[in-house]
A and B are shown apart, each in its own frame.
Chain A
Amino acid sequence: MSTATATPAQQTAPAAAAARRPGRLRRLIASPLALTGLVIAAVLVAVALAAPLITPYDPTLPDFDHVLSPPSLSHWLGTDDLGRDQLARVFYGVRASMQVGVLAVVLAFLIGVPLGLVAGYYGRFADTVVSRLTDTMLAFPFLVLAVGLAAVLGPSLLNATIAIGVAQIPAVVRITRAETLRLRHLDYVAATIANGGGDGTVLFRRILPNAAPALIVQATVGIPGAILGEALLSFLGLGVQPPSPSLGVMLSSAQSFIAQAPWMAVFPGLVIVAATLAFNLLGDGLRDVLDPRGGTA
């Protein structure tokens, strides 16, 4: 009756044991795109941390003997109009970008997550206030808002970070609020209330940990946004102040020499593209891996 082939009986495993899934990291690196993102992002972070150790030149010290020299063995990425080593400046630029990226996202989360939790969990008046506020902020495009804030605060790296962080708050509030609204109605949150849990327990032990996957994805997408924002603000003279290096500052000064010294624009530009791409790919990969629905198969 059966066409099936006979095989040993040991293969019958209980459902529970077979349902264990491979680790999240392993599933993340199984995707070539996510792995690419992870590797580039890791290299950028390493460069940012190790910039002072791995570059032989001072990024701010002019060297008028080697002005606008093209890439060579001594200056791999060439030099700029003041003879500064472009590689050193790119490394320090990455350092500035990552600093802004991470700090701005941290700032946005420190303010945005509590607001989103309160709006989503308590609803009513709190929700109305928070939602109106974020809607108003969202009416301005992200970069316009950041530029406006930076202009008001005055040009400096710290102020650029604050401006970018504040500009990211509405997105963080939105996603936190949406996750809170979704989770608030789940049975296991109701169960914790029924078990005698107060608001603190519910918010920080149930809702926040279960919203974490979405928030982590939001953070990875927020970092490239902040890097771009820093580049733009510095390009406009509202961020990092010369002679300190930053990818935006470098692009800004490359403008006048685009014909004679294209390398001044190309390398910082490529790094911005790579950083943006890397974090976006990583975010997409994390989204797939952290989604509990996709993960139970």
Chain B
Amino acid sequence: MTVTAAPEAPPVLEIADLTRHYPHAQGTVRAADGVSLTVRRGEVLGLVGESGSGKSTVGRCAVRLDTPTSGTVRINGTDITRLSARRLRPLRKDFHLVFQDPSSSLDPRMTVGDLIAEPLRLHRLAAGAELDARVSRLLQQVGLRLDFADRRPHELSGGQRQRVSIARALSVDPDLLIADEPTSALDVSVQAAVLNLLADLQRDRGFGCLFITHDLAAVEFLANRIAVMYLGQIVELADTADLFADPRHPYTQALLSAAPLPDPAAQRGRERIVLSGDLPSPAAPPPGCRFNTRCPVAVDRCRTEVPPLRTLPGTTRQVSCHLAADS
């Protein structure tokens, strides 16, 4: 798990300069504003941010449940940004999505078996006895008993529903899995089981994964690299270990220090960065660095000049902060 995917592994998802603007009463909401990232085969990229950061917008654009305002999304090298629904449909077997809330992403009228079989049926990849066999195998792989195939979602617990959701997403063996807060609606003990399952499946099948979450600990467990988003933009992107060991962007630092440790001694002893003020409206982001209104170390330059996302020399880390030192 901890081994970073070889950099030469082919990219399954390439997002370049993606923007998504929505018209809004108070002006244009810039939900995503110039986001670029790459997920390679066999790699888990964590996309971390708080509510309003635009992380889910990026996820929905990546699977074309939403259409970007500008920028490109490539899956296995194919530009899908502007493909028609009809042309896109056959390509959809290559990428899949696991939603946050399994109780709303599973049609309450369908049985678990039919839910898992849906992608296989729609892509005409299996039928009859072969379809049944594949559904059984998927149930097994996600740790559900075979008799669950005849049940309906409301008869299942939250964790079991999320397993169904994962089985469905993986039924067509996609090259890319996008998981949007897959554990946020679950209890602690169930969360652990679902994260373990995702980690096991990812290791066994080697798909690329964009793991979208607000939960730093979850992303640390699962991801090889992490991109941190703030107000529609990526502010830092680094290998997981590097990011946790030495966060460079002040927002990343604040985020890491705000997540409480489940250990009274450690939690009470540590120094925390408490951010002042509120998240600015994505319809009217502040000039200069978007984080400058809450940044504890901002200087005049931060209020006027937009810091580019730059790669620190000699590393693979990208940071958008004027004050981040090169070394």
Contact = CB atoms under 8 A, between A and B. Distances in A.
Interface of A: 15-17, 19-20, 186-188, 190-199, 201, 206, 209-210, 292, 296
Interface string B101-113: 1001111110000
Nearest to A295: B154
Contacts of B119: 195-196
Given A16-B155, A194-B63, A199-B85, A187 B99 contact: yes
Given A187-B104, A188-B104, A190-B97, 4 more contacts: A16-B151, A191-B106, A195-B168, A196-B123
Please classify how large the interface on chain B is, using the bins under 10, 10 to 19, 20 to 34, 35 or more: 20 to 34
B203 interface: no
Contacts of B92: 194-196
A20 B135 CA distance: 24
B86 interface: yes
Nearest to B104: A187
B144 to A, nearest CB: 12
Interface string B63-91: 10100000000000000000001100110
B65 A196 contact: no
B107 to A, nearest CB: 4
Contact of B122 (A15, A196, A209): A196
B118 A15 contact: no
A201 B89 CA distance: 12
A187 B108 CA distance: 11
Contacts of A188: 104-108
Nearest to B91: A196
Interface of B: 63, 65, 85-86, 89-90, 92-93, 96-97, 99-101, 104-109, 118-119, 122-123, 151, 154-157, 168, 172
Contact of B97 (A16, A19, A191): A191
A186 B106 CA distance: 10
B108 A191 contact: no
A119 B294 CA distance: 44
Contacts of A186: 104
Q: 5 closest A-B pairs (Cβ-Cβ)?
A: A187-B105, A195-B119, A196-B122, A196-B92, A187-B104
Given A188-B104, A206-B107, A210-B107, A194 B122 contact: no
B154 A198 contact: no
A16 B89 contact: no
A209 B172 CA distance: 25
Contact of B85 (A19, A190, A198, A210): A198
Contacts of B96: 194-195
B281 to A, nearest CB: 23
A191 B168 contact: yes
A193 B65 contact: yes
B109 A196 contact: no
A154 B93 CA distance: 57
Contacts of A209: 109
A193 B100 CA distance: 16
A209 B108 CA distance: 11
Contact of A196 (B93, B99, B101): B93
A292 B63 CA distance: 29
A91 to B, nearest CB: 40
B322 to A, nearest CB: 39
B124 to A, nearest CB: 9
Given A16-B155, A196-B92, A196-B93, A190 B122 contact: no
Contact of A194 (B65, B90, B100, B155): B65
Nearest to B100: A187
17 contacts: A187-B100, A188-B104, A188-B105, A188-B106, A188-B108, A190-B99, A190-B105, A191-B107, A192-B107, A192-B118, A194-B63, A194-B92, A195-B96, A196-B90, A197-B89, A198-B85, A210-B108
A17 B157 CA distance: 11
Contacts of A197: 89, 118, 122
B107 A20 contact: no
